[in-house]
Chain A
Amino acid sequence: MIIEERGSTHVYKQIRMLSKEELERLESRCVHEQPAFCVAACPLKLDAKALAQAVSQGNFDEARKLYEKIAPFPHILAAGCDAPCEAKCRLTERGDAVDLRALEQAAMAYGQRGRARGVLRMKKRKTAAVFGSGLYSLFLAGELNKKAYPVTVFCREDDADAFIAAGAGFAPPEALAADAALLKETDIAFRFSTDLSRELIEEQRERFDVLCLSPELYASLYPEGSADAALQYDRENRLVSGSPRGVTETAFCAKKAALTVDRLAQNLDPGNSRGAEGPVETRLYTDVSGAEALARVPHQGLYTPGEAVREAGRCLQCRCDECIKGCAYLQHYQKFPRVLTREIYNNVSIIMGDHMMNKPINACSLCGQCSVTCPNGYDMGEICHLARQNMVSTDKMPLAPHEFALMDMLFSNNEAFLCRPQPGFETCQYVFFPGCQAAAIAPETVKAAYLDLCRRLDGGVGLLLGCCGAICDWAGRYELYDQTKEFIRRELARLGDPTVIVGCPSCKKELAGYGELKLVGIWDVLLRLGLPEGARGLERPAALHDSCGARGDPGTQEAVRSIAKALGVRLEDTPYSGDRSPCCGYGGLTAYANREVAGEMTAKCLERSDAPYISYCMACRDRFARQGRESRHILELVYGTDAGDPPDISQKRYNRLTLKKELLWELWHEETREMKLDFELRFTEEALRLMDERMILKDDVIAVLEEQRRTGQAVFDADSGLTAACRRVGNVTFWVKYTPLDNGGYLVRSAYSHRMQVVRRQG
Chain B
Amino acid sequence: MADKNYYTVDPQGKLRCLKCGVPLEKGKAKFLYLDNGFPVELPVCPVCGFVYVPEELALGKVLAVEKALEDK
In whole angstroms, what is the CA distance A735 to B66 when docked? 17
A708 nearest CB neighbor, chain B only: B18
With A354-B71, A717-B14, A756-B62 known as contacts, the answer to whether A9 contacts B32 (CB < 8 A) is no
Interface centre among B28, B35, B53, B65 (most CB of A within 10 A): B53
A side interface size, CB within 8 A: 43
Question: Are A358's CB and B53's CB within 8 A?
Answer: no
Partner among B18, B30, B34, B67 whose Cβ is within 8 Å of the Cβ of A7: B34
Q: Identify which of A6, A714, A724, A726 contacts B19 (C-beta below 8 A).
A: A714
A733: Cβ under 8 A from any B Cβ: yes
Given contacts A355-B71, A756-B65, A758-B42, contact A715 B34 (CB under 8 A): no
Mask for A4-29, Cβ within 8 A of B = 1, else 0?
01111110000000000000000000
With a cutoff of 8 Å between Cβ atoms, the chain A residues found around residue B48 in the complex are 713
Query: Is B71 a contact partner of A398 (Cβ separation < 8 A)?
Result: yes
Compute the total of residue contacts between A and B using a CB distance below 8 Å: 110
Do A755 and B53 contact each other (CB < 8 Å), given the known contacts A712-B19, A719-B14, A763-B28?
no
What CA separation (Å) do A719 and B27 show in the bound complex?
20
Task: Tally chain B residues at the interface, Cβ within 8 Å.
Answer: 40
Q: A400-B66, A752-B58 are in contact. Are A7 and B14 (CB under 8 A)?
A: no
User: Do B71 and A711 touch across chains, with their CB atoms under 8 A apart?
Assistant: no
- Of chain A, the residue at the smallest CB distance from B45 is A715
A676: Cβ under 8 A from any B Cβ: no
Any B CB within 8 A of the CB of A761: yes
* Neighbouring B residues of A358 by C-beta, 8 Å: 70-71
Q: Tell me the interface secondary structure of chain B in the complex.
A: mixed
Tell me, in angstroms, the Cα distance from A718 to B16 when the chains sit together.
8
**B65 to chain A: which residues have CB within 8 Å?**
756
- Are B34 and A6 closer than 8 Å at their CB atoms? yes
Q: Which residues of A contact B24 (CB under 8 A)?
A: 715
The answer for the CA separation of A197 and B18 in the assembled complex, in Å, is: 112
A737 on the B face (CB < 8 A): yes
Q: Closest CB of chain A to B34's CB: distance in Å?
A: 5
Measured between alpha carbons, how far is A625 from B34 in the docked complex, in Å? Answer: 38
Residue of A nearest to B48 (CB): A713
CB distance from A248 to the nearest CB of B (A): 53
Known contacts being A8-B34, A358-B71, is A715 close to B43, with CB within 8 Å?
Answer: yes
Q: Which residues of A contact B43 (CB under 8 A)?
A: 715
Closest residue of B by beta carbon distance from A762: B28
**Contact (Cβ within 8 A) B35 A754:** no
Q: Within 8 Å CB of B42, what residues of A? A: 758
What separation, in Å, do the CA atoms of A606 and B70 have in the docked complex?
A: 33
Given contacts A726-B53, A759-B51, contact A400 B28 (CB under 8 A): no
**A178 an interface residue at 8 Å Cβ cutoff?**
no
Is the pair A400, B55 in contact by a Cβ cutoff of 8 Å? no
> Which residues of the other chain, A, contact B2 by a CB distance below 8 angstroms?
none
Residues of chain A within 8 A (CB-CB) of B18 are: 712-716, 723
Q: What is the bound-complex CA distance between A354 and B30, given in angstroms?
A: 23
* Contact B29 A759, beta carbon cutoff 8 Å: yes
- In the bound complex, do residue A760 and residue B32 qualify as a contact, i.e. CB atoms below 8 Å apart? no
Complex CA gap A316/B5 in Å reads: 60
Q: Contacts A356-B71, A752-B58, A757-B32 given: A715-B52 contact, CB under 8 Å?
A: yes
A581: chain B residues at CB < 8 Å are: none
Please give, as numbers and ranges, the residues of chain B lying within 8 Å of A726 by CB-CB distance.
Answer: 53
Also in contact, A733 and B53, with CB within 8 A (given A9-B72, A400-B70, A716-B16)? yes
Choose among B15, B55, B63 the residue that contacts A735 (Cβ–Cβ < 8 A). Answer: B55
The CA of A737 and the CA of B52, in the complex, are separated in Å by 12
| Docked complex: B6-65 residues within 8 A CB-CB of A | 14-19, 24, 27-36, 39, 42-44, 48-53, 55, 58-59, 62-63, 65
Chain B hits for A401, CB < 8 A: 70
Q: Kindly state whether residue A750 has any CB partner on chain B within 8 Å.
A: yes
Of A353, A750, A752, most B-chain CB atoms within 10 Å? A752
Indicate which residue in B33, B39, B71 contacts A756 across the interface (CB closer than 8 Å). Answer: B33
Q: In the complex, what distance in Å separates the CA atom of A733 from the CA atom of B55?
A: 12
Look across to chain B and name the residue whose beta carbon is closest to the beta carbon of A760. B49
B66 and A718 contact, CB distance less than 8 A: no
- CB of B28 within 8 A of CB of A9, answer no
CB contacts (< 8 Å) of B14 on chain A: these are: 717-719
CB closest residue in chain B, given A397: B70
Distance in angstroms between the alpha carbons of A256 and B68 in the assembled complex: 54
Task: Please state if B72 and A761 are interface contacts (CB–CB under 8 Å).
Answer: no
- Whether, in the assembled complex, A753 has its beta carbon less than 8 Å from a beta carbon of chain B, the answer is yes
Give the chain B neighbours of A718 by CB distance below 8 A: 14-16
Q: A755-B33, A756-B65, A757-B32 are in contact. Are A715 and B55 (CB under 8 A)?
A: no
Assess whether A9 is in contact with B51, with CB atoms less than 8 Å apart: no
> Smallest CB–CB gap between B56 and chain A, Å?
9
Please name all residues of chain B whose beta carbon is closer than 8 Å to the beta carbon of A735 when the two chains form the complex.
53, 55, 58
A726–B53 Cα gap in the complex (Å)?
Answer: 9
Instruction: Please name all residues of chain A whose beta carbon is closer than 8 Å to the beta carbon of B62 when the two chains form the complex.
Output: 754, 756
B44 contacts A760, C-beta separation under 8 Å: yes
A753 touches B58 (CB 8 A): yes
With A400-B66, A756-B62: A715-B33 Cβ-Cβ less than 8 Å: no
Complex interface: chain A residues within 8 A of B34 (CB)? 5-9
CA distance A737 to B39 in the complex (A): 25
In the complex, are the beta carbons of B58 and A8 less than 8 A apart?
A: no
Least Cβ distance of A279 to chain B in Å? 45
Task: Determine the distance from Cα of A420 to Cα of B27 in the docked complex, in whole angstroms.
Answer: 56
Q: List chain A residues, Cβ under 8 A from B52.
A: 715, 724
User: Told that A714-B18, A760-B29, A760-B51 touch, could you supply 9 new A-B pairs with CB distance under 8 A?
Assistant: A713-B17, A715-B17, A715-B52, A717-B14, A752-B55, A756-B32, A756-B33, A757-B32, A759-B32
Kindly list the 4 A-B residue pairs having the minimum CB-CB distance in the complex, ordered from nearest.
A8-B35, A398-B70, A9-B72, A761-B28
B residues with a Cβ closer than 8 A to A are: 14-19, 24, 27-36, 39, 42-44, 48-53, 55, 58-59, 62-63, 65-72
A-B contact pairs, 14 of them (CB 8 A): A358-B70, A401-B70, A711-B19, A712-B19, A717-B14, A723-B18, A726-B53, A735-B53, A735-B55, A757-B31, A760-B28, A760-B30, A760-B49, A763-B28
